[in-house]
Amino acid sequence: MLNELYQKIRDAFTDRELVLGEGNERADIMLIGEAPGRTEVELGRPFVGKAGKNLDMFLAHIRLRREDIYITNCVKFRPTRISEWGSVANRPPTPEEILAQRDFLMEEINIIDPKVLVTLGGVPLKSVMNDMGASIGAFHGRPCTGKSGRTLFPLYHPASIIYKRELAATYEKDMDRLAEYISALG
């Protein structure tokens, strides 16, 4: 079923280099990031660049291994812009890009059928909540239920603490809460 979905996504975005989800297809925990970056596109895998190092630290903190979970992004290609120096840089996905891939993400969630969705940052929160106004500042660090009835545990994006050092303590506390939440799930 997952392979059929991956093919549908490839057919819908034939002009893009895609990075699809990977990991344990029977996972209780599904991690949803924003979109792949340059290294992810080069290697064709989610969360393997600098964000992957953050992810490894994150997994160690909540005492899980990469093979225990399923990891994907809500946008499967790298959104780019040309920087002021003329190089190719990342940019956040637009609401149109998020919405254009939302049905695929929902299908992916239904196939994996995890007990909890851990969204990393504002973009996957908006996508899963189907609310482009949902703000990570209001939802982070505690479980909530999306319109679909799925349980979400929103976290800040691990990369955001690099740019906003003041978030680091909050992020640690949120991860501790998530670890407690997961161990209570059994």
Residues of this chain that bind ligand URA (CB under 6 A): 33-37, 40, 46-47, 51, 73
Min dist. Cβ of residue 98 to ligand URA (A): 12
Q: Which amino acid type is present at position 69?
A: I
The amino acid at residue 155 is: L
**Which residue in the shown chain puts its C-beta closest to ligand URA?**
33
For ligand URA, the closer of residues 19 and 62 by Cβ is: 19
Q: Which is nearer to ligand URA, 90 or 151 (CB)?
A: 90
Q: Report, in Å, the least distance between residue 184 CB and ligand URA.
A: 27
Q: What is d(CA 117, CA 2) in angstroms, rounded to the nearest whole number?
A: 17
| Number of CB atoms found within 10 A of residue 123's CB | 25
Q: How far is the CB of 96 from ligand URA (least distance, A)?
A: 18
Rg (CA), the chain: 16
Q: Given the complex with ligand URA, which of 33 and 114 has the nearer CB atom? A: 33
Least distance in angstroms from the C-beta of 59 to ligand URA: 14
CB atoms within 10 A of CB 21: 25
**Contact predicate 113/135, CB 8 Å:** no
